[in-house]
Amino acid sequence: MLLFLSILCLTDHVFFSCLVPSHQPLGMPSLSPTMTQGNIVKWKKKEGDKVTAGDVLCEIETDKATVDMECMEDGYLAKIVFSDGAKDIKVGQIIAITVEEQGDIDKFKDYKADAPAAPPKPAPKESPPPPKPTESPKPAPSPKPAPAASGDRIIASPNARKYAQDNQISLSGVAGTGPGGRIVRADLLIVVFIGGQQVQEPRRAETPGDSTSLDYTDLPNTQIRRVIAQRLLQSKQTIPHYYLTVDVRVDKLLALRTQLNAKLEKEKRKKLSVNDFVLKAAALALKKVPECNSSWTDEFIRQFHNINISVAVQTERGLMVPVVKDADKKGLGAISDDVRTLAEKARENTLKPSDYDGGTFTVSNLGGPFGIKQFCAIINPPQSCILAVGTTDKRVIPGENDGEYTAATFMSATLSCDHRVVDGAIGAHWLGAFKGYIEDPMTLLL
């Protein structure tokens, strides 16, 4: 059983808002559940530059990916505390300061990081003590995620609030990793991801057994492994799964694919895979049976307006699930290009949050090189369906007349459904639509 999750690339754009006071210390953002420190690859803005919401301030490198850090509010970049190439900066440690007024830039000229892990920089003897800015900067947020509540007030970025509202997450008790312990959206992705509990630091195996004297070796769980375990358990224990399997005849599809690929090859374009057809057929089936394009919550069923298909991609680092957006509106060629680009990014570790955010349905294909005949996948919450596609195999089937036999190629497809959202007949209807598109593949070209 498999569940393809996007956790291995669970990062987020980080948003900072400038509230009172009129300057804003920017901490090293927490970009993944496992991240404790990050490196600054390159600043895209200089001290004194005007910045507009959405501007990329710098590139941050984590153990998982390189992510752009964006500015949330308009203002000026007053001080860069850690410059290009700075390494191992703890999450929460101040890396820069922005101000609202251009006139305030100079006040931070000599601002120094006083966070504990800052490399001790001997101050030049002659330099006067850093002038106190009229409003003294807020104390550096501690590198450990601080509780976000100050008194009864919960500090969260506007984006985090919206995300919390959309996903019905309570902000209380969430440890914020933004400046001043503010809750940023990345913190909530982690909460959603592991079902409401903050991720604990991985515990080392207490006494790593002396492998020569024991019959086993204890391998400490990595953070990612623990998150996967919790998430899988949550999905399998709280979602009432059921499974429907059909055999789909793919002779026509394979013939069409050969034909199209010959044409593409002549034009020196990339070939289509069977999976590209599967994605397109799944997208069209979702359009036909939109109940499968929804998500369960205790108060309502959310119907998505887009058909965004998450695609499982195997990489050296593990499984990643980037998303083909609006797959129903794209042609086979565009879907194929998207999948190729996303898979490349996944392998090169350069997926952006926008590449794996917002899937409404997942396709997992263990056919092809994996050669799996049929399997049942675990639903990827908050989605309500996942399609598990097996390998294509040639079988002998009865011919038109008695005593005649012929060969045909089939592929098995198993739909896992959340019964709270998708009743059996609806799931069957969806698979019927999917089968129809695959077996009459010209309909995929329309």
Which are the catalytic amino acids? 419, 423
CB 124 to ligand NAG: min, Å: 50
Determine which residue in the list 93, 98, 360, 392 makes contact with ligand NAG, applying CB under 6 A.
360
Nearer to ligand NAG, 360 or 412 (CB): 360
Taking residue 241's Cβ as centre, other Cβ atoms within 10 Å add up to 16
Q: Which single residue brings its beta carbon nearest to ligand NAG?
A: 358
422 binding ligand NAG? (CB under 6 A) = no
24 binding ligand NAG? (CB under 6 A) = no
Determine which residue in the list 110, 326, 337, 439 makes contact with ligand NAG, applying CB under 6 A.
326
Q: What's the rounded Cα separation, in Å, for the pair 338 and 351?
A: 12
CB 308 to ligand NAG: min, Å: 4
Nearer to ligand NAG, 30 or 293 (CB): 293
CA angle centred on 203, ends 202 and 207, rounded to 5°: 150
CB 389 to ligand NAG: min, Å: 21
Interface stretch with ligand NAG, choices 36-44, 202-210, 302-310, 330-338 (CB under 6 A): 302-310
3-state secondary structure the chain: CECCCHHHHCCCCCCCCCCCCCEEEEECCCCCCCCCEEEEEEECCCCCCEECCCCEEEEEECCCCEEEEECCCCEEEEEECCCCCCCCEECCCEEEEEECCHHHHHHHCCCCCCCCCCCCCCCCCCCCCCCCCCCCCCCCCCCCCEECEECCEECECHHHHHHHHHCCCCCCCCEECCHHHCECHHHHHHHHHHCCCCCCCCCCCCCCCCCCCCCCCCCCCCHHHHHHHHHHHHHHHHCCEEEEEEEEECHHHHHHHHHHHHHHHHCCCCCCCHHHHHHHHHHHHHHHCHHHCEEECCCCEEECCCCCEEECEEECCEEECCEECCHHHCCHHHHHHHHHHHHHHHHHCCCCHHHHCCCCEEEEECCHHHCCCCCCECCCCCCCEEEEEEEEEEEEEECCCCCCEEEEEEEEEEEEEECCCCCHHHHHHHHHHHHHHHHCHHHHCC
Q: What's the rounded Cα separation, in Å, for the pair 411 and 281?
A: 14
What residues have CB less than 8 Å from 67, skipping those under 6 apart? 11, 12, 13, 31, 59, 60, 61, 352, 353
CB 382 to ligand NAG: min, Å: 9
Question: Count of residues binding ligand NAG (CB under 6 A)?
Answer: 16
294 binding ligand NAG? (CB under 6 A) = yes
CB 413 to ligand NAG: min, Å: 20
> What is the per-residue binding string for ligand NAG in 220-259, x denoting contact by CB under 6 A?
----------------------------------------
Nearer to ligand NAG, 50 or 329 (CB): 329
306 binding ligand NAG? (CB under 6 A) = yes
358 binding ligand NAG? (CB under 6 A) = yes
Nearer to ligand NAG, 245 or 306 (CB): 306
Judging by beta carbons within 10 Å of its beta carbon (0-12, 13-18, 19+), is residue 439 exposed, middle or buried?
Answer: middle
Half-sphere exposure of 160 (CA within 13 A, CB side): 28
305 binding ligand NAG? (CB under 6 A) = yes
167 binding ligand NAG? (CB under 6 A) = no
Determine which residue in the list 217, 259, 303, 350 makes contact with ligand NAG, applying CB under 6 A.
303
| Binders of ligand NAG in range 99-158 (CB under 6 A) | none
Interface stretch with ligand NAG, choices 45-53, 305-313, 364-372, 376-384 (CB under 6 A): 305-313
Nearer to ligand NAG, 239 or 411 (CB): 239
Determine which residue in the list 34, 293, 310, 414 makes contact with ligand NAG, applying CB under 6 A.
293
CB 330 to ligand NAG: min, Å: 11
Determine which residue in the list 325, 330, 345, 435 makes contact with ligand NAG, applying CB under 6 A.
325
Nearer to ligand NAG, 76 or 163 (CB): 163
Determine which residue in the list 241, 249, 287, 419 makes contact with ligand NAG, applying CB under 6 A.
287
CB 147 to ligand NAG: min, Å: 29
Determine which residue in the list 39, 308, 362, 380 makes contact with ligand NAG, applying CB under 6 A.
308
- Where does this chain bind ligand NAG (CB under 6 A)? 287, 290-291, 293-294, 303-308, 325-326, 328, 358, 360
